[in-house]
A = this chain, B = another copy of it.
Amino acid sequence: MTVKIGLLGFGTVASGVPFLLTENAEKIKQAAQDDIQVAKVLVKDDAEKERLLAAGHKYHYVTSIDDILSDNEIVIVVELMGRIEPAKTFITRALQAKKHVVTANKDLLAIHGRELGAIAKENGVALYYEAAVAGGIPILRTLANSFASDKITRVLGVLNGTSNFMMTKMVDEGWTYEKALQTAQELGYAESDPTNDVEGIDAAYKAVILSQFAFGMTIDFDQVSHKGISSITPEDVTVAQELGYVIKLVGDIQETASGISAEVSPTFLPKNHPLASVNGVMNAVFVESIGIGQSMFYGPGAGQKPTAASVTADIIRIVRRLKDKTIGKDFNEFTRPLQLATAEDVKSDYYFSILTPDVQGKMLRLAEIFNEQAISFKQILQQPSDEKEARLVIVTHSMSKTQLENISKQLEAAHEFQVMNIFKVLGD
C-alpha cells in the first residue's frame, strides 16, 4: 500500500522530506512497511508553484487548503509553514478532517499545543512534532520512550543555535555581542529582527514543550522566565573564563519539592560540564534523572536535512502505527497537574558584576548586604575599571530566587553600587 501525504509549505525543510524518502527508500520501507508518497503540496499562489516547477520540484501543487483536506486519499498532513496563523487553523482543520498531522512548529505548539493535542485526541488522530525541539536531536521521542522508566529531576539545554553561535564567537574569539550578531545576520543564522533568538524567546518555547515530555506538566509560555544574551559584555566573558566557566544561553527546567520551574538565561557552565563543549549552531539537551543519572543528547538544532529527518521519522511512525492499528496514542502520554515551584525552592549560585566608586569601605558595605540575606561568597575578584571606579565580581554560594530578589533590591537601593549583570552559575 502507499500512504499519501500532503505538505503545507515547500520551503527549505519541506524539500528535505522527499529527499530523505527517496535517498533512504529501502530502510524507510522496512520501518514503515508501506510506501510513502507526497501527493499534494500547498503553496501560496500560482507564482510560487511556477517557481518551484521551474526549479525542478515536480509535485501536484494546490493553493487552497481545501484541496488537501477534502482529498480522502491524503492520510497525513505535514505542516512546515511556521508561525501561528494560518498554521493553527490549517492544523486544526486537518485534525478535524481525521488526518494525522506532523509539524515542526514550536511557536505554535508552545502556545497552543494543549488545545491542538485535545483536538487530535477527540478525533483519534496523531499529532507528532519531534522536530519542534532541537530540530535534528531525537529528544522528545527519547524522553517519551526511553525515560518512561526514569524520574527526571532537571533538564538543561542549549536550545537555540543562533544565540549559541554568537556566544561561541564571544567566548572563543572575544567578539562583542554586536559583532557576533552582525556576523550571525550576515551568515543567515539570525533574522533581521533577532529578538526571538537573542532574547531567549525561541528557547523558552522549546522549554515549554520539554516540560511536558520530561515532567508531564504543561507550563504556560508566560511562566517561563527568559533573559537574553544582549547584556553580556566581553568583561563578563573574560572573567567567566578566569573563574573556570563558559557562558552560554541555557534553558533550565527543574523539579523542586513544590513543583517545577523553567527559565532561559545566560548561565556560567563549569568548563568540564558536557554542555560547555556544545559550540556553534549545535544544540544539546542535558538530562539529570534518578535512574540514568546524567545523559546528554547532542546534534544540530535546525537546518534542512536534520529537521526533515525528524519530520520524516514522525511520518514513518504514523504509517507504521496505521499498519499496526495503534494510531491515536498521544505523542506524550506523561501528564500530571501543573505545580509551579515556589521562589524559595528554586536555588542556584549566582554571578554578580558590580561597578562601584573605588573608595574605602565599599567591600564591607557589599559584604553586609549579602550577609543580611545569609548568602556567602564562593569567589571574589576585584578589577580596576578606571581610576575612579572598580569592578567587583562575586560568585555566591547557593541562594533562592527570593534571596536573589532581595539582594537585587538592596543593591539597587545602595546608590554606590551599579549592578552591571547578574547571571546564574551552575555548580560542579
Is B277 within 8 A of A305, CB to CB?
no
> Which residues of the partner chain B approach A282 to less than 8 Å between Cβ atoms?
294
Chain B residues with CB below 8 A from A334, complex form: 27, 30-31
Near B by CB (< 8 A), chain A positions 11-33 give 16, 20, 23-24, 26-28, 30-32
Instruction: Tell me, rounded to whole Å, the shortest Cβ–Cβ distance linking A155 to chain B.
Output: 14
Q: How far is the CB of A281 from chain B (nearest CB, A)?
A: 11
Stretch at the interface among A52-60, A115-123, A141-149: A141-149
| A277 CA / B303 CA spacing, docked (Å) | 25
Would B137 and A295 count as touching, CB distance under 8 A? yes
Q: Which residues of B contact A274 (CB under 8 A)?
A: 277, 298
Cα–Cα, bound, A324→B316 (Å):
18
Q: Contact check, B312 vs A149: say whether CB atoms are below 8 A apart.
A: yes
Contact A149 B326 (CB under 8 A): no
Give complex CA distance A147, B324 in Å: 19
> Is A298 touching B300 in the complex (CB atoms < 8 A)?
no
With both chains docked as a complex, state the minimum distance between the C-beta of A125 and any C-beta of chain B, in angstroms. 17
Is there an interface contact between B27 and A313, defined as CB atoms closer than 8 Å? Answer: no
List chain B residues, Cβ under 8 A from A326. Answer: 324, 326
Choice from B32, B141, B290 contacting A146 with Cβ under 8 Å? B141
Residues of A in contact (CB 8 Å), total 59
Give complex CA distance A296, B279 in Å: 13
Interface residues of A in 140-172 (CB under 8 A from B): 141-142, 145-151
Contact call B295/A296, Cβ cutoff below 8 A:
no
Min C-beta distance of A316 to chain B, whole Å: 5
Contact of A292 among B136, B216, B272 (CB under 8 A): B136
Q: Among residues 342 to 356 in chain A, which have CB atoms less than 8 Å away from a CB atom of chain B?
A: none
For A291, list chain B residues within 8 Å (CB): 16, 20, 24, 136, 305-306, 308-309, 312
- Chain B residues contacting A335 (CB-CB under 8 Å) are 30
Residues A145 and B30 in contact in the complex (CB < 8 Å), given A292-B306, A294-B299, A306-B291: no
A138 to B287, CA, bound (A): 12
Residue contact B300 to A149, C-beta cutoff 8 Å: no
Are the CB atoms of A298 and B299 closer together than 8 Å?
Answer: no
Q: A4 at the A/B interface (Cβ < 8 Å)?
A: no
Judge if A107 is at the interface, Cβ distance under 8 Å. Answer: no
Q: List 24 A-B pairs, Cβ < 8 Å.
A: A20-B291, A23-B151, A24-B149, A24-B290, A26-B336, A27-B151, A27-B216, A30-B333, A30-B335, A136-B291, A136-B293, A141-B146, A145-B313, A146-B310, A147-B309, A149-B313, A149-B316, A290-B305, A293-B300, A293-B305, A296-B297, A297-B298, A324-B324, A324-B326
Q: Pick the 7 closest A-B CB pairs, nearest first.
A: A291-B309, A138-B146, A295-B299, A149-B312, A31-B148, A296-B298, A136-B292
